[in-house]
Structure 1
Amino acid sequence: MSMAAARKDDEPLPANRAGGVTLVLGMGGTGVSCARFLAARGARAIFADTRAMPPGAAAIRAAMPAAEILPSGPPAVLPPGVNRILVSPGVDLRLPVLADARQHGVPVLSDIDLFVAEAAAPITAITGSNGKSTVTSMVGAMLTGAGARAAVGGNLGTPALELVDPGASHYVLELSSFQLERSAPVPAAAAVVLNITPDHLDMHGNLAAYTSAKARIYARCALAVVNRDLPELAALVPAGTSTLGFGLKSPIGNDFGVLVRDDGAWLARGREPLLPVADLPVSGRHNVSNALAALALCSVSGFDVRELLPG
């Protein structure tokens, strides 16, 4: 079942609703971050999980001692007073309570939706079957090295809601297919689908649905970064979206790529050599590609590209 049935790309980003009760489905790391977020805002909540012993139960109870935790798992219908549902990435979208919510016009949201409503700094969004954690970490390191106050997390490390910081100058989010499927499109300053190989098909049903979930990262981005070595991915970018490419061959136009010179191979933008490949702190062709993707994503950060280079 696609989240598109519940969330539409032209649906406005939700404000955090005051009053009422929030039903939080999933009591792992995301559920804990939701509990802390809601507690800080004086909200009321009910929590449920399909697991008999949810890993975040104690932390949720510590954050929200007055919250109700349903011992029998997710309810079949909306509990009285619930005016929104927050779903964790692993929650089955076929749960009856979600159908009941949609039937009654109750928003089904994610922690990423709440994060976007709170975030005041530009967001860089990263997904892919392979390499997304590496590229997320690279982007964070490049921005931090250039002097930015970058908050890095999402599917990697710190949950998105725990990144919210009025002092942050940039947010760098790794987003899984599950997070993208359960969220409204993120208004990212730059976004990338690094690659797509069959994964999580037990949850998505088929490769087309998995690809569609990944492609949501481009739906509202200002700049779509595209892997030129996988040209089929360019078809995922909505018409009219600005694009910037990266790849392991010589750059095309102002894209990022590899220039081979007499003194070796260099990371480059257009015809401008930036850094010898041999000077990268990580090895392997895949990490050359990852570094180029990170540079392309950082190109809209406001820093000169040379400020972003490791050194």
Structure 2
Amino acid sequence: MKDLIGKRVTVLGAGLSGQALAMAICDLGADVFISESRSDLSKDVLDSFDGAGIRWEVGVNSDKALDCDLMVLSSGVSPNSKIIQKAISSSIPVEGEVDFVLPRLNGKVIAITGTNGKTTTTSLTAHMLLASGYDGVAVGNIGTPLGTALREHHDFFVVELSSFQLYWTKKAFFDLSMVTNLAPDHLDWHDGLEKYVEAKSKALKRRRDGAWGIVQKRDLEKLQVTGDLSILPLAVTEPSDFPGIYMGSDCAWIVLDGLKKKLFSYDQVPMVGFHNMENAAMALGGCVALGCVGEGWSSALADYRPPSHRCQLITSINGVTYIDDSKGTNVASTCTALESIKGSKVVILGGRGKGESYDSLAVAVKDNCRRAILIGEEKEPISRALDLVGFSDWIFAADMEEAVSAAQLSSVPDDTVLLSPACTSWDMYGSYVERGDHFCRLVLEMQEKILKR
């Protein structure tokens, strides 16, 4: 990594990934300048740049950013950025975060992407590798920026990758790739579904020779990997003789090298919903494909604690189950939760939309819910979609407090109250985490009051 000593490097974007990149590149001996179009960076962040000798600008991407030998893009930087276009037209090398970091990592790389489920799959894959005696660490979009991994050595880097990161990926290679599922998302950033799928497909196209890829069987054609002999398709059926991962009636299997191996029984998985059984099957199937199988898998799986706000079981009150799926920020994710969790549901929907149609959401609500409680900026568009499919048992709530109270009054024993908004949180909260935490707090406070009666 001595190739950076004395080089002038501009990092574009100063979010968490950009900050980590800037610090890491500075440690490698480069003269770093970081440019951020937003003006709301904290004083602590700017002070950390000053302390490291990193030059910076905020509120603008000026031509100062072009005074460099290399421009490195943090996660989420749009290809429509004018300063990137200027850099390209000026023949300045431009690299995405993945292309800059991954070739410099000290260990094998497992790439995990998908519209939904990638964080759970990433964290479980790392967990099972550790349980099998391998040094695996989860990094990337899961919350630990890639730049922090530059000086680390691990057997495996389990990397959660967004479509934004993959868009800029042109030279990094992966030792195993998984695409959990595909559904429309971030269409404004990618200028349509076709380019979104094209970005996701890079996780498979950038595999090393002979490396396995794991995808849903239904997505083979979209990802253009039909006929690829190094693909293990996941199918909802009892196992056959063909290589793949199979979701049977009560357990998951993998067929590989002519052998059939049971991965787990569904009742061993400490998660809610069939979609999480699929996530677990991909994670454990990936470990088997890598040859990383250890003793005590069953106990390791039982010990796994999934990431918060992803179909997270909160509690049960008077026979009613409460589940936090605040990370359900798009229609596909919420539809999956509604269809995967058994029984009748009272669902809390709404927030700030992503410009999606709510037609499929309305059908899923009609088929799976007793009542829908609608909040946030999108409550009226969602209500209209529900009306169109003949579902009239919905009500508006002014805020989360009112929504939780209404859900409790609307539910009966054996129901599930599910927060899965199908929208972002940005109209009412700073993040889906803040929204989910508030929901959990309200539910637990309600439980405490009931117990005191």
- TM-score interval w.r.t. the shorter chain? 0.7 to 0.9
Q: How far did residue 108 of structure 1 move? A: 0.9
In 2 relative to 1, CA 256–226 (structure 1 residues): closer, same or farther, beyond 3 Å?
A: same
Q: How far did residue 60 of structure 1 move? A: 5.3
Q: Secondary structure at the match of 1:196?
A: coil
Q: Which has the higher helix share?
A: 2
- Greater relative contact order (Cα < 8 A, sep 6+): 1
- 1:232 is aligned, of 221, 226, 243, to 221
- Between the aligned partners of 1:308 and 1:15, the Cα distance in structure 2 is 41
- 1:251 is aligned, of 231, 236, 239, to 239
Q: Could you tell me the TM-score, scaled by structure 2's length?
A: 0.59
Following TM superposition, the consecutive aligned residue runs of length 4 or more in structure 1 with deviations greater than 4 angstroms are: 238-241, 305-309
Q: How far did residue 255 of structure 1 move? A: 1.6
Q: How far did residue 273 of structure 1 move? A: 2.9
- Between the aligned partners of 1:159 and 1:112, the Cα distance in structure 2 is 11
Contact 1:140 1:150 (C-alpha < 8 Å) held by counterparts: yes
Contact 2:103 2:173 (C-alpha < 8 Å) held by counterparts: no
One-letter amino acid matched to 2:82? P
Give the structure 1 partner of residue 254 of structure 2.
269
Gaps of 5+ in 2: 303-453
1:31-70 matched pairs, under 5 angstroms:
31-55=18-42, 58-59=44-45, 61-63=47-49, 65=51, 66-70=53-57
Give the structure 1 partner of residue 156 of structure 2.
170
1:17-96 matched pairs, under 5 angstroms:
17-55=4-42, 58-59=44-45, 61-63=47-49, 65=51, 66-76=53-63, 79-80=66-67, 82-96=68-82
Q: Secondary structure at the match of 1:281?
A: coil
- Between the aligned partners of 2:158 and 2:195, the Cα distance in structure 1 is 25
- 2:139 is aligned, of 140, 153, 163, to 153
Contact 1:295 1:305 (C-alpha < 8 Å) held by counterparts: no
How many corresponding residue pairs?
A: 291
- Between the aligned partners of 1:16 and 1:110, the Cα distance in structure 2 is 17
Q: Secondary structure at the match of 1:135?
A: helix
Q: How far did residue 63 of structure 1 move? A: 4.7
Q: Secondary structure at the match of 1:122?
A: strand
- Between the aligned partners of 2:278 and 2:196, the Cα distance in structure 1 is 23
Give the structure 2 partner of residue 295 of structure 1.
284
Give the structure 2 partner of residue 280 of structure 1.
269
Q: How far did residue 307 of structure 1 move? A: 5.8
- Which structure's CA Rg is the greater one? 2
- 2:200 is aligned, of 214, 221, 228, to 214
- 1:122 is aligned, of 108, 111, 115, to 108
> Aligned residues: percent identity?
25
Q: How far did residue 169 of structure 1 move? A: 0.7
Give the structure 2 partner of residue 4 of structure 1.
none
- Between the aligned partners of 2:235 and 2:149, the Cα distance in structure 1 is 31
One-letter amino acid matched to 2:216? N
- Between the aligned partners of 1:248 and 1:307, the Cα distance in structure 2 is 26
One-letter amino acid matched to 1:176? S
Per-residue Cα deviation, 1:226-284 (whole angstroms, up to 9, x for no partner):
21244434x43387561112232123423221334xxxx12212343342211112131
Contact 1:121 1:170 (C-alpha < 8 Å) held by counterparts: yes
Contact 1:35 1:64 (C-alpha < 8 Å) held by counterparts: no
One-letter amino acid matched to 2:233? G
Q: How far did residue 19 of structure 1 move? A: 2.6
Give the structure 2 partner of residue 242 of structure 1.
230
Give the structure 2 partner of residue 10 of structure 1.
none
Gaps of 5+ in 1: 1-13
Contact 1:113 1:184 (C-alpha < 8 Å) held by counterparts: yes
- Between the aligned partners of 1:165 and 1:184, the Cα distance in structure 2 is 22
- Between the aligned partners of 1:139 and 1:30, the Cα distance in structure 2 is 22
Give the structure 2 partner of residue 3 of structure 1.
none
Q: Secondary structure at the match of 1:123?
A: strand
In 2 relative to 1, CA 241–220 (structure 1 residues): closer, same or farther, beyond 3 Å?
A: farther
- Between the aligned partners of 1:155 and 1:147, the Cα distance in structure 2 is 24
- Between the aligned partners of 2:192 and 2:271, the Cα distance in structure 1 is 34
One-letter amino acid matched to 1:70? E
Give the structure 2 partner of residue 5 of structure 1.
none
Per-residue Cα deviation, 1:125-166 (whole angstroms, up to 9, x for no partner):
111111111111110111011111111110011011212354
